[in-house]
Amino acid sequence: MKLALDGVEPREMFKPILNVTEGISQKFTKEFTKALKNSYKIAHSVIGDEDALKKLGQGWYADETFALAYFCILHYPKDYRKAVQTAVNITGDSDSVGSVVGCILGAMLGIEAVPVSWTEALKDKVKLEEIVLPLLEKYFQVSGNKFWS
């Protein structure tokens, strides 16, 4: 998320994420590292979305969730709608994968990238804004980045 907020392009996120996960010797991080590498490799192949996503799993485990999400982000780095739609149409834990994609691309591309019809249909939109806006303001105060262009 931090990389996305800092404007790092999805393909440039690979090495910083890999550097963090490779240095940890727990079983989970080894699986995560393997899934991350596989996602990056498949995203840069000629395999179509449907077959690629099947190779990455169903998202029931955190490593698969991130691998699937990262694939969608790599394939559609500037198209929020297509990336999220691809994520939520997997066979498996589609809501988790879609949430990760939406979160990362939303942080990177901004609210303007989210289809207006999606934001208008949100339940408890006012409550969400009350929670999210102070967090964004705090982040941008600390980081020195601009809140809105």
What type of residue sits at position 56?
L
Per the CB < 8 A criterion, the answer to whether 106 and 113 are in contact is yes
Q: Please choose, from the candidates 92, 100, 130, the residue with its C-alpha nearest in 3D space to the C-alpha of residue 36.
A: 100
Q: Is the pLDDT of residue 147 over 60?
A: no
Per-residue model confidence as pLDDT tens digits over 106-145? 989 988 899 999 888 888 888 888 888 888 787 777 655 5
Place of tokens 């999606």: 118
Per-residue model confidence as pLDDT tens digits over 76-99? 999 999 999 999 999 899 999 999
